[in-house]
Amino acid sequence: MNIIEVKDLRKVYSNGYVSTVALDGVSFDVKEGEFLAIVGSSGCGKSTLMHILGLLDRPTSGFYNFGGKNVFEMSDDEAARVRNKKMGFVFQSFNLLPRTSIFNNVKLPLVYGGLSDEKEKEMVLSALESVGLKDKANNFSNQLSGGEQQRAAIARALVNHPAIIFADEPTGNLDSLSGQNVLELLQDLNDDGHTIILVTHEKYTSEMAQRIIEMKDGKIVLDEKVENRKLAKNGLIK
Amino acid sequence: MNLRDSIKTALISLKSNKTRSALTMLGIVIGISSVVTMVSIGNGAKQLIIGQFSTLGSNNIFIEPGSFSKKMEGNQGMQSMLEEMTIKTLKYEDYKAIEKDPLISKAAPLAFGAEKIFYKGNDFKVTYLGTTPEGINILNKAEFIYGNNFTEEDVKSLGRDVVLGYKVKETLFGEEDPIGKIVRIRGNNFRVIGSLDQQGTQMFMNLDEVIYLPITTAQKVILGVDHIQEIVAQAKDENRIEEAVESIRLTIRERHAIDNPEGDPAKDDFKVVSQKETAEILDTVISIFTMFLSSVAAIALLVGGIGIMNIMLVSVTERTKEIGLRKAVGARRSDVMTQFLIEALILTLIGGLIGIFFGLVFSLLASFILGAVLSISWQFSFPLNAVAWAFCVATAIGLVFGLYPARRASKLNPIEALRYE
């Protein structure tokens, strides 16, 4: 079953003088449980596409169904609810809150979910355990290494058991070993059934996915299955 | 996001900028504490005046020499006061006429001044009040501890009898029984025939430092004059005080042969004021004064509110990325707005509570200082209404001045916010 259906998606940025076409008629589907990598050089529109898919931004025109629901018909609050319940985000710069413990950082999406304290605690600890950071729950984010911070961010993305995880250049700020750990984690999550959309400009990172969409100038220029899928646990071959 | 989480988040954010939060609160603290202090002092002043008037009863009418218009003419106040002192037209007979007025229950003439009273080696500066036996009862409600009042016979015969106020007796005689003892006032011997219990201040005069003489003795023996300085009358019916005042005016005009059919008080050589009227005027003056001072203090509060808004705007800008992240993980606009509003509210409420505390401390201090400086018993009044108002105002300020920054935060586009550096 398709979790994402996109047809002829367009996004035009306009500042009143100049219009820039960021997405120029993008169409594709994503199946549940799929691990998709979106690649392309800087400015090709891959981040814009991810933001629209993640309901953080609205397309100018086209058709987008998420989990069977037409995104155009969603109000801002409904979109917020979908982001909260169905989606997880991992950013290049981690985006952890300073002066806040890792536990509370991971808890952040649950704060907007209306669960009991007990349930929240259980979910946070289980998310932290799955990224191997249970013992650092009470540390502050600045007390963690870059790799640990990104793992904490992944724990935050999966704490709500989302259907899909969007990862925007998750290894961009990490050394190769930490990057490998993060990718391994994403592959494990995919094995557990999470749909994953990974945005990257690195070819070898994209080869961790099952399928690659390559973009150029706002258009999809390549959409293919990865023949020799690499596994992060086997080490990175550059 | 539930309220508890919002409050927790707000507290974390406020704690992480302790100095800034404290300085922001300071504006509210100063504003609220000055409003509370001003209102409390105003209330205290009102209570003081009500107290000073109420012990005397509320239906008193005072007749004095002089006229209204002269006092009103700007800087001639001093001159008209001197003129009043030289007006000699108010006579004992005027008092007699007023006493017969059917609207009046009691009346007393007054002749007074300040003199030293001597007994053996001791002396004491007192206010002497020459009046009738009834006059003492009208002015001083205290019981006689020793002896009795002087009599009508004393008034008729220029009797050299004197009644002492509580403090006069204590100072001159201590524990001794003063009855029958001879004291000297302005070279004349007087026999003490009574002394009164404590009464305290009334109409801003300490009645315990007063001695009472027969009116005629005060006039002729001490002052050496033929006129009287004031008449105190009591209206029979509290609801007909105005009528009584008018009736007194007519009586005295007739007796003084003043042709004044239009009732212009400027033409009279006397003035009649009811205590009720005086109290009402004073009450209004104090209310206006309190309002004026409070509004000056309220400006401080407004400035404090603007300070809050300013800091909240800085906070929103600083935390743009955080707002973006919160939105990305599912915060709705209302969640973000509530979070920042609660932060502003907490700032103002804590500031408000501290302000109320300092306001109460300052008004307590003020009540001590004013009491000591003016040597009156200034009652500290807990300004419950001002405290309640201050609390509401602090909340309102938090809401009003927090709203704009909070709205700004809630409207941020998550993508732009996340990209913000």
Is residue A198 in a domain? yes
Length of chain B in residues, anyone? Answer: 421
**Chain A partners within 8 Å of B415 (Cβ):** 51, 56-57
Rounded to 10 deg, the angle between the B92-99 and B241-255 helix axes is: 140
A153: domain CATH number is 3.40.50.300
CA pair distance B421, B419, nearest whole angstrom: 6
A and B: number of Cβ contacts within 8 A: 57
Structural domain including A218 reads 34-55+76-234
Instruction: Point out the residue among A85, A99, A156 whose CB comes nearest to the CB of B16.
Output: A99
Is residue A194 in a domain? yes
CA pair distance B328, B420, nearest whole angstrom: 14
At B78 the pLDDT is 64
- For the entire predicted model, the pTM comes to 0.73
pLDDT in tens, chain B (421 residues): 778 888 888 888 888 888 989 998 998 999 899 888 888 888 888 888 777 777 777 788 999 887 765 444 555 566 666 666 667 888 889 999 999 999 999 999 999 999 999 998 888 999 999 999 988 888 888 889 999 999 999 989 999 999 999 999 999 998 889 999 999 998 899 999 999 998 877 777 888 899 999 999 999 888 888 889 999 999 988 888 889 999 999 999 989 888 888 888 778 888 888 888 888 888 888 889 888 888 888 888 888 888 888 999 998 998 899 999 999 999 999 999 999 999 999 999 999 999 999 999 998 898 888 888 876 777 777 778 888 888 888 888 888 888 999 998 898 888 888 888 7
At B3 the pLDDT is 82
Half-sphere exposure of B39 (CA within 13 A, CB side): 22
B-interface mutation test, from A58, A94, A97, A120, most B Cβ less than 10 A away? A97
- A86 near B CB under 8 A: no
Instruction: Point out the residue among A76, A100, A113 whose CB comes nearest to the CB of B12.
Output: A100
Q: Are A12 and A25 in contact (CB under 8 A)?
A: no
Contacts of B384 (CB under 8 A, 6+ apart): none
- B5 near A CB under 8 A: yes
Q: How many structural domains is chain A composed of?
A: 1
DSSP class of residue A101 equals: B
Per-residue pLDDT of A26-56, as tens digits, reads: 999 999 999 999 999 888 999 899 999 999 9
Of B94, B280, B120, nearest to B192 by C-alpha is B120
Q: Do B330 and A84 touch (CB under 8 A)?
A: yes
* Structure confidence at residue A70 as a pLDDT band (50, 70, 90): very high
At B84 the pLDDT is 63
Grouping H, G, I as helix, E, B as strand and the rest as coil, residue A91 is: coil
CA pair distance B310, B308, nearest whole angstrom: 5
Per-residue pLDDT of A111-161, as tens digits, reads: 888 888 899 999 999 999 989 999 999 999 889 999 999 999 999 999 999
Q: Do A89 and B329 touch (CB under 8 A)?
A: yes
CA pair distance A24, B334, nearest whole angstrom: 34
A84 Cα to chain B: minimum distance (Å): 4
Q: Which residue has the tokens 């502003």?
A: B344
* Structure confidence at residue A236 as a pLDDT band (50, 70, 90): low
Average pLDDT of span A169-192: 90
**Chain A partners within 8 Å of B324 (Cβ):** 95
A4 Cα to chain B: minimum distance (Å): 18
Q: Are B398 and B349 in contact (CB under 8 A)?
A: yes
- B329 near A CB under 8 A: yes
- B327 near A CB under 8 A: yes
**Chain A partners within 8 Å of B3 (Cβ):** none
Is residue A63 in a domain? no
DSSP string, A205-238: HHTTSSEEEEEETTEEEEEEE-TT---GGG----
Which tokens hold the place of B218? 């005060």
**Chain A partners within 8 Å of B14 (Cβ):** none
Is residue A124 in a domain? yes
Is residue A39 in a domain? yes
Of A155, A165, A157, nearest to A37 by C-alpha is A165
Is residue A61 in a domain? no
